[in-house]
Every structure is written in C-alpha cells, then in structure tokens.
Amino acid sequence: MERNKIRILLVSLIYFLLSLPTLLSGFRGAFFSFWLTFYLFYKYKFNHKISFKSLVIIIILVSLVSLYISYIRENPSTTAISLSENFLLEFLKQQGVSFFVTAMAIEFYDEFADRILNYLMWEPIGNIFPHLLSLPGRTFANDLTIKINYNAFSLGYGTGSSYLAEAYLLDGPFVVSLISLFLGFILSKLFIRFRYSNVFIKILIFTLIQFIIYLPRDLLLMPLSVTLKTEIYVLITYILFTVFKNILLIKKGESNENTFSIK
C-alpha cells in the first residue's frame, strides 16, 4: 500500500537482515522465492518491466550465492569454495536433487502412480499440520526417501519433491504440460487481480505466487496449503482490524457529540 520508495527501502532492508539467518541456515528456496517475488511485485507496483539484462544478473547472483550456501552447509568446517573447483560443474551438480526426484518418478512410475491421489489428498493440510505428512504413505517425497535411503529418512532427511514429478505420476508428460500451462494462466490472472484487491487479498496473492515459483522443488499442492494457512492469520488480522476500527469510530463519534454539547 505504501508509495514512498524510501520507506519501502527501509522496511525491506530491516526485513532482509531478519531473513538472512534463513539463508545462512541453508534454506535457499524459502529465502530466494520470497525475495524474487518481492522484486517482481516491486517492479509491478511502479509499472517497471524487468529487463533481460537485470534477469541475467539476478540469475547469476542467485546461482553463485546458492552454490556458496550449499557448499558451506555440506562442508561446515570450511567457509569458502576452493578456487581450483569448477564453479559451473559445481552449480550443475547442486541441481541434481531436483532432476533426480523427477527421474525417480519416471523410473518407478508403476510403483508410485497408484498412490499419487492419496498424496494429493494430504498435501492441502501439509503446512497447517506438518506432522501429519511426516508419516510414510502421506507424501511422494517421504516414500521416495524411504525407498532409496531409509536410514536418511529415519534421521529426518528427505529428497523433497517436485511438481513435475507429481504431475508425471498423475498421467505422464501430457499432464505435466497441462499443469504447467495452468500455472502460467493462474499467475497471469493473479497479477491482474492483485492491482484491484485490498491489502488482505494482496497478502494471499503474494503468498500464493511465492510458492508457485518454488513449485519445481516442492509438493504439487503446497502453494494451496501455505495460502490456506496464511488465510487463517489474515482472517484473524482482518477481524481484529475491523474491531479496533469500529471502536475508534465509536470513540470519535462520542468525542464529536461531547464537543457539540459543550458548544
């Protein structure tokens, strides 16, 4: 809602510093999906387009920082990448998990395809009640981890998921293409809706778009799950806002009546 760029910059800087521990803890996806969405909406707010040059710079910066964070996460005893290492090969190697998850969905299609509807049934409540998704048989990510490395699963590690993999399990490449086109359609409609919405709806749209951006590395219905959880908080905030607003209006009305009586 704010139009003053200096105020936006100040608040953004404070929040950026507060969110840095998320990145330094190794949660690259959560950090970058938020700030890429923020940058997208900032440009949209002031009717600026993202140039091809800016896009290339962003991709390079995100790739290098992601590589560095991944390296120090997997090598906690060191704080820098050796200069002798090939950065390009290291970056491509770090993308292996996302490719691997989709490859495993294709390789073991007959084993997981029958369970995909059950997985999708649990996903909408996954962010609201995350402990319910930690059990075997509830998500493709957990079942895949159990299949390839049960010891890692028992220690709390997992392969994660990808909307590409889960869409493929629904019915192959055609459904992957269909869902990808649908996501593009939804994104375009959300951007149009954003400009004409109140601040509460804007929060929900921002959240939904942020997690759609993260979908190549997440559960297919996780954007819906996160948005539903956010909606609960937004609803509570809206109720409190309405109550306080009415109280202030009542007090203001009483004050005006007293002033009129005195006069």
DSSP per residue over 156-221, as a string?
Answer: T------HHHHHHHHHSHHHHHHHHHHHHHHHHHHHHHHHTS-HHHHHHHHHHHHHHHTGGGS-TT
Say if CB 241 and CB 222 are below 8 A apart.
no
Which range, of 12-16, 163-167, 188-192, 251-255, averages the lowest pLDDT?
251-255
Task: Please report the pLDDT score of residue 64 as a whole number.
Answer: 78
57-70: pLDDT as tens digits: 888 888 778 777 77
Q: How many angstroms separate the CA atoms of 244 and 242, rounded?
A: 6
55-109: pLDDT as tens digits: 888 888 887 787 777 777 766 665 555 544 566 666 666 666 678 899 999 999 9
HSE of 79 in the Cβ direction (CA atoms, 13 Å)?
0
Task: Please report the pLDDT score of residue 227 as a whole number.
Answer: 94
Q: How many angstroms separate the CA atoms of 185 and 113, rounded?
A: 26
| Per-chain mean pLDDT for the chain | 86
Residues 23-51 have a mean pLDDT of: 87
| CA pseudo-torsion sign 100, 104, 105, 106 | positive
Is the pLDDT at 150 greater than 80, yes or no? Answer: yes
110: enclosing H helix or E strand = helix 109-112
Is the pLDDT at 245 greater than 70, yes or no? Answer: yes
The CA-to-CA distance between both ends of the chain, in Å, stands at 39
pLDDT band (50, 70, 90) for residue 28: confident
Is the pLDDT at 177 greater than 50, yes or no? Answer: yes
Task: Please report the pLDDT score of residue 187 as a whole number.
Answer: 93
Task: Please report the pLDDT score of residue 26 as a whole number.
Answer: 76
Task: Please report the pLDDT score of residue 260 as a whole number.
Answer: 54
